[in-house]
Amino acid sequence: METISLQTKNTTYQMGVTPNGFLLHLYYGKKVDCNMEYLLTAYDRGFAMNPYEAGNDRTFSLDVLPQEYPCYGTGDFRTAAVNVKNSQGVYGCDLRFRSLSRSEEKYQIPGLPAVYAEKGRAETIEITLEDRAVGVEVVLKYGILADLDVITRSAVIKNTGNEEIVLDKVYSASLDFLQGDYDVLHFYGRHGMERNMERHSVVHGIQSYGSKRGMSSHQHNPFFILADSETNEDHGTCYGVSLLYSGNFNCEIEKDQFNQIRMAIGINNEMFAYPLKPGEEFYTPEAALVYSRDGLTALSQTYHRLIRYHVCRGAYKEVRRPILINNWEATYLDFTGEKIVDIAKQAADLGVEMLVLDDGWFGERNDDFRGLGDWTVNEKKLGGSLAALSDKIHSLGMKFGLWIEPEMVNENSRLYEKHPDWAFVIPGRLPVRGRNQLVLDFSRKEVVGGIFDQITKVIDSAQIEYIKMDMNRGICDVYSAVEGQQNFGKIMHEYVLGVYEFLDRLLKRYPKLLIEGCAGGGGRFDAGMLYYTPQIWCSDNTDAIERIRIQHGTSFGYPISAVGSHVSAVPNHQTGRITDIHTRSVVAMAGSFGYELDLNKISEDEKKEVKKQIRDYKKYWNLIHNGKYYRLHTPGKDTEMAAWNFTSEDQREVLLNVVSLDTHCNSPVTYIKCKGLKADGKYCREGSTRVYSGNALMEIGVPIPVVMGEYKAWQMHFTEC
């Protein structure tokens, strides 16, 4: 068997081509210098199908062998990566190896986000498979980021026949494991409580997680980990897969009759049936794979580096983002220009660097029944033009940012009056509403273009350094009012392409603009979106204690720099909980930091605290965003303390963060152990004369003071001395 090996610094990924051209998956894991074909076994298995060319050999069955890109129709009854329907409506294809090519550059994907790397720091392998009878060609693309230990995958499907075919299912990657006792870690949630980590063993049958909501969703995240059942934060084998895609997705994890496991991920095949005319191609989104043999922390840190330096882009990719104040929780839709300036003045006095004007500045948007789609400034409400407001904010020494929700329309708007057909509405049926709004058909170029023109006119009219791009409902009523349009199975995907096109055009036109993603908080928090927006509002839940759990789950697959996180008012607007302003800031600093309240309404002592927070964030920012992030506890599980620390790459600096989640009378002392220090290093703690050894900080820990009151927080900064 001819083998194809992809090597990174510490991992090997190997495939094999059988004499009949089947592409088998041989191995992915710790680096090996070995032909892994020996792992394959062959037995005559009951009810296992055999390809015709196997002749009398009943031991060769694709239902048992590990495959690289399994297709429906070959006798493999496990979950398929691809299923094609020909012009007669016949399902299935039989892909065989045709060729292999290598290039010195990382491939990119037209219209879709993809991992990038400088020339010479990544390579691409392309494997072409074909089924001449159906008339389909599949190019499997592998990006190899050797230094980072990352392998990316995507596929291009081409109709090479003379008649239209339909892609009924087309995943980005499929990974087979011959053996192992694995757990799946997935990140489920709801609005206001996104990305809770859940871990359970992989059982026989298919476990599938995904979204059909038109966005990657609050409910499931397109990031998964398969971990050996013994694996913990610091030890053991685990595999991650992150899909760079912001729409409907599915991840299927199947344990088969012989305890083999298949993990497959890609676009959700419900509401998907993509027609390809002769000569047309389809590009799948990209999946980024990481293997770690050093536990979950190492796996997360690889994803942090990958996304921070090889997915996120733009002027703010590596520099500190402005500390912002957003007026949403301070005013909701009820504000005037004067009120905004009032909020900005106080914030500027305390050191805040940017004012973000949230929802409500346009059209007749004084409640959430109207206005979306009318991207013209409500000068009456602002008491003047947007340029005048932006000038006032700039005269305070602040930058100015603006909220938009381009994909939506209210029926009560001028846009809907003029272009009712731009919204997803099925003729003859009443549309389903969400937050009183309908979704615009972003699969249509003229819709994207129409909204783009409106919004850029506003951006051009004033000095705007930041945009918060929101999306506040899921998509149903999938119907496109395009002449001749007959196949609605492509709309959900083309909608996502439309969103990416909108963002791409925005970034090309305003290369210095910082865009923060948002979808009712973290409903579209995925690696695809991070290609366009280097930070995403992590959740509409700003309660510090609940945020700890949300940010903990988020940290498994996404870097701290990606997490939009703000100090808000108490009692918290989502939970009614009261935490002190220090605790709120310690939690918000584990992200791209900001405020979301009227700072005129806090006490003088709290104002002093805010000034200090801003000084501290500026001081620690580099360590927080570019250092290594360590989860020290699972909130609410191991102890009543939540704890995490940031350690600089050179291990000379550590910022330990601790928050108490409960309080007791006569409480025992909790000792928190740091991670990632030099064992033999000596560390001084800021504000103290004591010297600690790295070993002691890591193995024995730091006593956390016993104090009165709930939800206390500590931030301790150590440097090598």
Catalytic residues, by residue number, are 526, 606
In the complex, what is the shortest distance from the CB of residue 571 to ligand DGJ, in angstroms, rounded to a whole number? 18
For residue 256, the cross-strand partners are none
- Do the beta carbons of residue 394 and residue 354 sit within 8 Å? no
The DSSP bridge partners found for residue 128 are: 99, 139
Closest approach of Cβ 319 to ligand DGJ, in Å?
A: 24
SS3 content of the chain, % helix, strand, coil (to 5): 20, 35, 45
- Location of structure tokens 């999306």: 471
Residue with the two structure tokens 């037209």: 110
CA torsion through residues 472, 571, 645, 224, sign: negative
CA distance 277 to 274: 10
Q: Which of 694, 586, 693 is nearest to 641 (CA)?
A: 586
Q: State the nearest-atom distance from the C-beta of 471 to ligand DGJ, in Å.
A: 9
Taking the C-alpha atoms of residue 568 and residue 563, their distance in angstroms, rounded to an integer, is: 15
Residue nearest ligand DGJ, CB atom distance: 359
d(CA 645, CA 623): 10
Structure tokens at 22: 């089947």
- Angle, helix 544-555 to helix 581-588, in steps of 10 degrees: 10
The secondary structure of residue 132, as a DSSP letter, is T
- Cβ-contact 231, 238 below 8 angstroms: yes
Which helix (H) or strand (E) covers residue 176, if one does? strand 165-177
Q: What residue spans of 368-490 are helical by DSSP H?
A: 379-382, 386-395, 414-418, 445-461
Residue closer to ligand DGJ by CB (options 26, 404) is: 404
Minimum gap (Å) between residue 626 Cβ and ligand DGJ? 27
Minimum Å gap between C-beta 169 and ligand DGJ is: 33
- β-pairing, 193-201 vs 182-190, is antiparallel
With respect to ligand DGJ, which residue has the nearer C-beta, 127 or 324?
324
Instruction: State in angstroms the smallest separation of the CB of 438 from ligand DGJ.
Output: 15
Which C-beta is closer to ligand DGJ: that of 309 or that of 332?
A: 332
* Closest-CA residue to 703 (of 687, 688, 714): 714
* 719 DSSP β-pair partners: 653, 684
- Nearest alpha carbon to residue 241 among 167, 297, 186: 186
Specify the residue, 159 or 568, whose C-beta has the smaller distance to ligand DGJ.
Answer: 568
Query: Alpha carbon 41 to chain centroid distance?
Result: 38
Comparison of 266 and 521: residue with beta carbon closer to ligand DGJ:
521
For ligand DGJ, the closer CB: 537 or 692: 537
Q: Is the CB of 116 or the CB of 403 nearer to ligand DGJ?
A: 403
| Residues in touch with ligand DGJ (CB under 6 A) | 328, 358-359, 403, 470, 472, 518, 520-521, 537, 540
Q: Residue 12 in contact with residue 293, Cβ under 8 Å?
A: no
Beta bridge partners of 314: none
**Nearer residue to ligand DGJ within complex by CB, 312 or 372:** 372
Could you tell me the smallest distance in angstroms from the CB atom of residue 225 to ligand DGJ?
A: 27
